[in-house]
Structure 1
């Protein structure tokens, strides 16, 4: 894998020339634009040093059963292990899954309704206790409780054959959940599904399969002291401020060919102003921007015109959509024509600019699924000649929904994300052209879904009609991208990622698509799901994302991983 980096690093395949001093200030490879997209930039096996990272918000949760941000899935692999994982490194192979805790990928039986995984031997928690299949089964069962753990994925809640009286391991501790997941012995985990499902290996790379020792589980407080199964463990953890990881001496590299575990120490600062974080990446005070969504607009004007700074950046196209949820919970947006008025009145160019333009933001999106998703088709139900909105159509839609003079609603966005604030302001200006008045409200990213935009009662009580949102594929097919954000049956009281799509016809199409065994036919059905969502006007696409990522000074082994849709954090080292 490391040999792939030679051409990207300026030496050329087989070159014996010494790399030039890098603009990053290190002594490794020569900086080059997009060097980490197709290869590994500045390859090294050197161990030691401190990786310094920062986040512009708080973590949603460090608990593997209660987290659902892409950065957390990526970074969390420093301290947790799951049954499978995305293959480390650059290029298309990053979309494939490989065994992690498991000896091999899963074995399906019963026409795909049962999946079996064998656990490797020699695995230990940080305290030296052996990791067994029971710890994995327990971790899956504890993640079922979405009141205690509102953030995490709900795939296994819906796919597994849970007993009807099971409410979670805390509320119903005596209920046997082996009908859904069980450890048949110390090394065998068996999943029992309620319907055939072909993509289980992708599901179990998610952190709800990271083992949790039952006797160390503290429920909602477990996020304060997670027991490590990976190469690093928590030295300190000041919730909302900072935490530090150090080496876990019970981790056996012989069981883990995927994690080089190069730094001795990893320090993370939380709630750092996003623009300040960019400046610290540029200067070298910070080496890694944890969210991995790209530089903010303020930094782009400094970085893109400067050849030396631009050479430290990568500009991948990612399987992510930035969008606005158009929420039908409150009048008048419960009327589809009022929602269509929003779709027609939006200024797509201004929205794209809010995210950083074509280079740093992405391609103007006209439907939900990004081009990187298998079988995606582009279509446009709300066209305008210049992509700046069709105000005539918007006014016709307003008249059709009984609001010819417009209406007032509230738009939510994540206050610690400058691009979302800019998007909200662009929407406010564009919609005002047809009399739709927005009140803008910003909320912290760490609780955005649990307490605000993804909280059913809050949305209804506070009249939230629009909400800035973004979604990246959990894996690169229609189910992996769409199901979590358009299936109304995933909606719970809080922690929702589907904020706006509540259509039984969409749900029916999802069931048809997920049960279709023919790949081509299945892809066509996911396009039909996409079209139905757009007809419903419950998602306003903004951009199919590109991001401008900056490699921190002194980093080694930098590679953009397609599965993670950001740099592959577990590969990183420091010079």
Structure 2
């Protein structure tokens, strides 16, 4: 049977929700005059790391949060808290680009005097080599973010020989970089602001650098990294602040990041003054206590994100759309919200685009009363679809990450699958490899638990990136279309919506809402819930700022 929460657990969850609801409006207090807060060591903890350090390959929110102060692109999102964090500002370029040729040509002038952390100068040659490298390493967004650059089609077909001839043109003497597109792209500046467009030294090898740090231009640099133990981040000795908006100098001198242990141990370390922040969400049963005993140490922030369970449309039994739809009908999204910590921390969803996001229109077809919102599971409908498919008894393995939330959701899905008549099991994998493992088709993952956080505020960043044909790369660890869905008709509609956005964004957003519905009819994934960010900080951390794209701005914080 589908597990039900005991009355005692329901009461604890309700207490947590009520206590945290009071904190939802509790933001960071205005900092005292900055004064001299420079110095000290910030201590971060996480249950696991997130794999490769390579900024052209890693596609996790945990490491993108670090890349904000390790690397730079030609432009970047403003490093401030609040709504202004969505603004694109000049970074390695001295000003916003000159856009010409009906939106297809971007010309940048590079800042002078910027150095990488190894002391070498950043030049236009490095910019060209970095864009070529995005394709040479087959980065996860090469086919979705940067495929509009002239010459990208050749690079995608033959990565090793990528030149982007005619696409990225440099003038070393003038310090200019010109990027030519095959068609106008209203999202291109957003895409250039992502860490995958970080500018690296031209000598960087065209392969995944793994645990080996690559020199960057940011305020900090990675001194050492062991994916199983720790990372040490120190100041970049070659850095001089050129723009506080793009790359602030930062306050602390060192950031020590420890991997391992449990969420419970992390909470205890923070409350005992042995750590300053945890990446993972604190256990729900501790949050009610903390919201009463330490309310000024908890910060809740809305996220443009979702937790979801991609179903592999190319493997049995999920190669049958009826099975995928059945599971969507069967899951109790309220129960999943409770597992995550209650309604103060998450809201049930049954579509791809998160609330209040471009293109979002409330819609829910996989519920007892289809309409604009989730109501209840429809097990009768789900069982009928399973019976019709003739797949009852099939073996299904749910692959989860090794943390409390992911394991709990995986166990719940196992129970639902068993109730539907399947032989279900859970496989738990360390967080430093789970995300790449579930992407690689060679691992034959049927069903997994994952999360997606917006790279930038556009519907395509969810729908096209997660379910577009250009994001599916069989046999690769960088195949972000985990479900393997490639519907040519929907794919064409997504490309048309992106193009329409260049002239009429409002009309494009209406099309994206229809595409959202079309994707959910194909049911390539289980939308679970949209979360809130929970940041638990030690009492010695000041100047908390939250960016909807970078999350907690670590470099902007100080320690006392």
Structure-2-length-normalised TM-score: 0.88
Give the aligned length: 527
1:316 aligns with 2:306: no
CA contact (8 A) 1:89 1:560 kept: yes
CA contact (8 A) 1:414 1:445 kept: yes
The Cα shift of 1:569 comes to: 1.7
Could you say if the C-alpha distance between residues 429 and 127 of structure 1 is closer, same or farther in structure 2, counting changes exceeding 3 Å? closer
The Cα shift of 1:300 comes to: 2.6
**Structure-to-structure mapping, 1:31-46, within 5 angstroms:** 33=23, 37=27, 44-45=34-35, 46=37
Could you say if the C-alpha distance between residues 238 and 308 of structure 1 is closer, same or farther in structure 2, counting changes exceeding 3 Å? same
Output the CA distance in 1 between the equivalents of 2:297 and 2:328. 37
Could you say if the C-alpha distance between residues 544 and 43 of structure 1 is closer, same or farther in structure 2, counting changes exceeding 3 Å? farther
**Structure-to-structure mapping, 1:351-366, within 5 angstroms:** 351-360=336-345, 362-366=346-350
Partner of residue 202 from structure 2, selected from 184, 191, 214:
214
Partner of residue 69 from structure 2, selected from 64, 71, 78:
78
Per-residue deviation, residues 139-164 of structure 1 (Å, max 9, x unmatched): 121121345x5x66653442222265
CA contact (8 A) 1:295 1:547 kept: no
Partner of residue 214 from structure 2, selected from 198, 215, 226:
226
The Cα shift of 1:530 comes to: 0.6
Aligned partner of residue 394 in structure 1, secondary structure: helix
Per-residue deviation, residues 314-344 of structure 1 (Å, max 9, x unmatched): 2222100111112211122111111111111
CA contact (8 A) 1:56 1:273 kept: yes
Per-residue deviation, residues 511-549 of structure 1 (Å, max 9, x unmatched): 111010211110011111110111011121111221322
CA contact (8 A) 2:125 2:202 kept: no
The Cα shift of 1:377 comes to: 0.5
CA contact (8 A) 1:347 1:427 kept: no
1:184 aligns with 2:175: no
Could you say if the C-alpha distance between residues 157 and 272 of structure 1 is closer, same or farther in structure 2, counting changes exceeding 3 Å? farther
Could you say if the C-alpha distance between residues 445 and 496 of structure 1 is closer, same or farther in structure 2, counting changes exceeding 3 Å? farther
CA contact (8 A) 2:303 2:533 kept: yes
Aligned partner of residue 303 in structure 2, secondary structure: strand
Could you say if the C-alpha distance between residues 201 and 40 of structure 1 is closer, same or farther in structure 2, counting changes exceeding 3 Å? farther
Output the CA distance in 2 between the equivalents of 1:522 and 1:178. 31
Aligned residue for 1:196? 184
Partner of residue 240 from structure 1, selected from 222, 228, 249:
228
Aligned partner of residue 432 in structure 1, secondary structure: helix
Aligned residue for 1:51? 42
**Structure-to-structure mapping, 1:151-166, within 5 angstroms:** 154-162=143-151, 165-166=154-155
The Cα shift of 1:42 comes to: 5.8
Aligned partner of residue 85 in structure 1, secondary structure: strand
**Structure-to-structure mapping, 1:453-468, within 5 angstroms:** 453-459=438-444, 464-468=445-449
The Cα shift of 1:220 comes to: 2.9
1:521 aligns with 2:488: no
Output the CA distance in 2 between the equivalents of 1:229 and 1:248. 8
Aligned partner of residue 135 in structure 2, secondary structure: coil
Output the CA distance in 1 between the equivalents of 2:394 and 2:375. 23
**Structure-to-structure mapping, 1:559-574, within 5 angstroms:** 559-564=545-550, 566-574=551-559
The Cα shift of 1:134 comes to: 1.6
1:486 aligns with 2:475: no
Output the CA distance in 2 between the equivalents of 1:122 and 1:448. 40
Unaligned 5+ segments in structure 1 are 1-31
1:477 aligns with 2:461: no
Could you say if the C-alpha distance between residues 246 and 38 of structure 1 is closer, same or farther in structure 2, counting changes exceeding 3 Å? closer
Could you say if the C-alpha distance between residues 38 and 302 of structure 1 is closer, same or farther in structure 2, counting changes exceeding 3 Å? closer
Output the CA distance in 2 between the equivalents of 1:167 and 1:262. 41
CA contact (8 A) 1:40 1:559 kept: no
Aligned residue for 1:551? 537
Aligned residue for 2:524? 538
Output the CA distance in 1 between the equivalents of 2:82 and 2:150. 36
Aligned residue for 2:283? 296
The Cα shift of 1:435 comes to: 1.4
Could you say if the C-alpha distance between residues 280 and 372 of structure 1 is closer, same or farther in structure 2, counting changes exceeding 3 Å? farther
Could you say if the C-alpha distance between residues 323 and 222 of structure 1 is closer, same or farther in structure 2, counting changes exceeding 3 Å? closer
Aligned partner of residue 53 in structure 1, secondary structure: strand
Output the CA distance in 1 between the equivalents of 2:144 and 2:152. 16
Aligned residue for 2:5? none
Aligned partner of residue 195 in structure 1, secondary structure: coil
Partner of residue 380 from structure 1, selected from 364, 377, 381:
364
Per-residue deviation, residues 79-107 of structure 1 (Å, max 9, x unmatched): 21222222222221112121111112233
Aligned partner of residue 66 in structure 1, secondary structure: coil
Aligned partner of residue 48 in structure 2, secondary structure: coil
1:441 aligns with 2:422: no
Aligned residue for 1:116? 107
